[in-house]
Structure 1
Amino acid sequence: MATDVLKSRYWGIAARGLAMGAADVVPGVSGGTIAFITGIYQELLDSLSRIGPQSVKTLFGEGVVAAWRQVNGNFLLALFGGILVSVFSLAKLIGYLLQHYPIVVWGFFFGLILASVFPIVRRVPRWSWRCWLALLTGVLMAILVSEMRPTEIAATPYTLFFSGALAICAMILPGISGSFILLMIGIYPQVIKAVHEIQVAALGWFAGGAICGLLLFSRLLSWLMHRFPSVTLSFLVGILLGSLKIVWPWKLSVDTLPGADHDKLAPALSNVMPDEFAHVSGEPSFVLGAAGAALLAFLLVLLIEWVHGRNVSNISHRS
C-alpha cells in the first residue's frame, strides 16, 4: 500500500515537472511559479541544497543508496525527468501557440501569475515593515528586468555556460523567467535551435552552467526560506507582481506608438490597452479570448491549491 502511494506521488511529481518545463519554454513565465503553486517549491530547494560535499562524503562512505536518499534522489529524478521531457516535446507546441495565438497564451499566463500571488501571501507567517520593503524590492527588480532591451551575443562555450547559470537562477525564482533572461541577453534563439537540432556540445555547455547555478543558488534560497521566511516570501510576491508587466498580453513596438521617445535605451515593447493595440496594429485584440484564458488559469491555480491542501490534510491525518 505504501509503495503504491509513493509511486502515485512520483507520477504526480513528474506531472509537475512537465508543467514546469512547459512554463520555462515561454519567455516570461517561470517554472518556479509552477513549483510554488503545486506545493513542491520548498522540497525542491531543500533537495538541491543537499547536493554538495556532504553528499559526496556520504557517497564514498555509505554508498550510492544512502547518498541518493540524502539528496531525495527519487523526487529530483521524477521532477527533472518531467521537465526534460516537456522541454524537448512541448517546445514546438509552445512556439506554435505563441506564433498563432500570442495574446490568448499571454492572457493565460497573466492569470496564472496573478493567481499565484494569493497562495504565497497566505504563507507569509507575519507581515512587518521588512516584508513590505522586500515586496517593493521584488516589484522594482522584476520591472527593471522587464525594461531590458534585447541584445545579441555569440553562442560560445563561455556565453552558453554563464547563460545557463543565469537562466537557471531566474527559473528558480517564481515570476522571473529563465527563458526571458535568455531572450534579453540575446542567446534564446541559439538555445532553442540547439534543443531542436540536438546540438550536444552547445547543450552540454549550457547544462553545465545550469547545474552549477542551480546548486549554488538553490542553497542560498533554501537558507533564506528557512532563516527569513516572511521576508523571502514577501520578496517572491513582489517579483510575481512586478512580472505581470512582462506577460501583459497587449504590446506594441515603441517605434509604432505616436509621440514615442525613440531613445536607444527605451524598451523595445510597450504595454498598451486592448483598444489601442487594435487601433495601432490593425489586428484583433482578442479581449474575450485573453480574459477567458486568464480566468481559466486563475481557476486552475485555485484548484491546484485546493487539491494540495487536501493532500496535506490527508497525509497529516494518516500520520
Structure 2
Amino acid sequence: MKQEGRTWRDYLALSGKGMMMGAADAVPGVSGGTIAFMTGIYEELIYSLKQFGPEALFVLFKQGPIAAWKHVNGTFLLTLVLGIFVSLVTVAKVVLFWLAEYPELLWSFFFGLILASVWSVCRHIEQWDSNSYTAFIAGTIAAYMITSIAPTTIEATPLFIFLAGMVAICAMILPGISGSFILLLLGMYTPILMAIKNIELFTLGIFAAGCAVGLLSFSRVLSWMFSSFKTTTLALLGGFMLGSLNKVWPWKYTTAYTINRHGEQVPLVQENISPFSFESMTGQPSFVIYAVGLMIVGAVAVLLIERMGRRSEA
C-alpha cells in the first residue's frame, strides 16, 4: 500500500526501479510488472492506480488539487513514470542492442532474473494449501499457453485498437506476461508501431483510451484480489512468472519471420531448443558458459534487491 515519509534517496531509488521497468517493457516477453513485484513496489503501484476514479474527482473539487495529488499517491507515480521514460530513451537502447546482437545472453539474464523472482514471490506465501497450489498451477499453464500461441493478423479497426490497448496494458502490469508480446499475438504490434512512427493521432488516441480504461479497471481487480485473496493471488502471479519462462528461454530456432517498421526481418515464430543443438541448427555460437553465468547474475540480482528491500522496511 501507500508509503509515507519517503526521503529524496527513497525517490531516487524509486526512479531507478522505474528505469528497470522501462528496460524490461522494451523487450517482448518480459513484463514491467515482474520488475515492479521483484523490487517490492507492486502492491503500492496497483493501489495508487486504483485511486484514480470518481472518488479522486470528488477530492479534487472538494479539497483541492493538493489533496487529490496525495489521494492518488501522485509523487510516487510521477517518480516511477519519469524513471520509465528515462529508461525508454536511454537504458532501453542498450537492452535493444543486446537483443539484436546477443539475444541468447540477454534472455539468459532475464531467465535467471525471472526464475529467482518466482522464488521471491512464493517466499511471501506463509502457508500453502489446495487453493494456492491450484492457483500456482493454473497460472503456470495459462502463461505457458499464452506464450506458445502463434501471432495472428486482424484488421486494425477502431474497436479492436481500443480492445487491444485494454488487454495489452493489463498484461503489462501483470507479472509474467508482456504487453508488447500480447500486441504481437493480436497482430497489433506493427500497426501501433506504425501509428507511433507516423504520428497518427486518431489511432494513438483510441489506443491510449483503451490503455486508460484497462489500467484503471484492472488495477481495481488486482487491488481487490490482494486485499481479499492475497495468498492465492501471490501463488497465481508466481505461476504466471514460471510459465513465462517459456518465452525467455535463451536458445530458440526461428520458423517464421516478419518485417518491422524499419523494413528489417525479425523473428515472428520461434521454437525452444537445447543449447547443444543450437549451434548445429542455427550456425551460431550458443555462448552456453556465458549464458549460465548471466543466469546466475540475474538470480543474484534478485537476491540483492530482496535484501535491500528488507533493509528499507526495517
Describe the superposition over 1:25-82 as per-residue Cα deviations: whole angstroms up to 9, x where unpaired.
1111010111011110110111111111111111111111111111111101111222
Residue 272 of structure 2 is aligned to residue 271 of structure 1? yes
* More displaced stretch, 128-137 vs 83-92: 83-92
- 1:253 is matched with 254
Separation in 2, partners of 1:197, 1:81: 24
**One-letter code aligned to 1:119:** S
- Matched with 2:151 is 150
Q: Which residue of 2 aligns with 1:300?
A: 301
Rounded to whole Å, the distance in 1 between the matches of 2:62 and 2:169 is: 31
Shift of 1:91: 4.5
Q: CA deviation at 1:180?
A: 1.1
Structure 1 counterpart of 2:60: 59
Please name the residue that 1:226 is paired with: 227
CA spacing shift, 1:133–1:5, aligned 2, 3 Å: closer
Report whether the alignment pairs 1:97 with 2:94: no
SS class of match (1:268): strand
SS across alignment from 1:51: coil
* 1:264 corresponds to: none
Contact 1:171–1:178 under 8 Å retained in 2 = yes
TM superposition shift of 1:183: 1.6
Q: How far apart, in 2, do the equivalents of 1:204 and 1:130 lie?
A: 41
Closer/same/farther in 2, CA of residues 49 and 4 from structure 1, 3 Å limit: closer
| Unmatched segments (≥5 aa) in structure 1 | 256-266, 314-319
Once structures 1 and 2 are overlaid, which stretch shifts more, 224-233 or 96-105? 96-105
Work out the CA distance in 2 between the residues paired with 1:196 and 1:189: 10
Aligned-partner Cα distance in 2 for 1:202–1:300: 39
Amino acid aligned to 1:177: S
On the 8 A contact 1:251/1:270 being kept in 2, the answer is: yes
The residue correspondences of 1:78-93 to structure 2 (distance < 5 A) are 78-93=79-94
2:185 aligned residue: 184
TM-score, reference length from structure 2: 0.89
Q: Deviation at 1:123?
A: 0.8
Q: Is the 8 A contact 1:253 1:268 kept in 2?
A: yes
Measure the CA separation in 2 of the matches of 1:4 and 1:223.
Answer: 25
Deviates more, 1:129-138 or 1:72-81: 72-81
Q: Aligned-pair distance for 1:291?
A: 1.4
Structure 1 residues 4 and 166, CA gap change in structure 2 (3 angstroms): closer
Q: 3-state DSSP class of the match of 2:285?
A: coil
Equivalenced residue count is 300
Higher helix share: 1
Matched, 1:166 2:146: no
**CA–CA distance in structure 1, aligned partners of residues 98 and 197 of structure 2:** 17
Structure 2 alignment gaps of length 5 or more: 257-267
SS of the residue corresponding to residue 210 of structure 2 reads helix
Encode CA deviations 1:109-137: one digit per residue, 9 max, x unaligned: 11110010111111113210010000010
Deviation at 1:193, TM superposition (A): 4.5
The TM-score normalised by the length of structure 1 is 0.88
Q: Compared with structure 1, are the counterparts of its residues 200 and 101 closer, same or farther at alpha carbon in structure 2 (3 Å cutoff)?
A: farther
User: How much does 1:192 deviate?
Assistant: 3.7
RMSD of equivalent CA atoms: 2.1
Task: Say if 1:88 and 1:196, in contact at 8 Å, map to a contact too.
Answer: no
Matched residue type, 2:103: P
Post-superposition shift, 1:92? 3.9
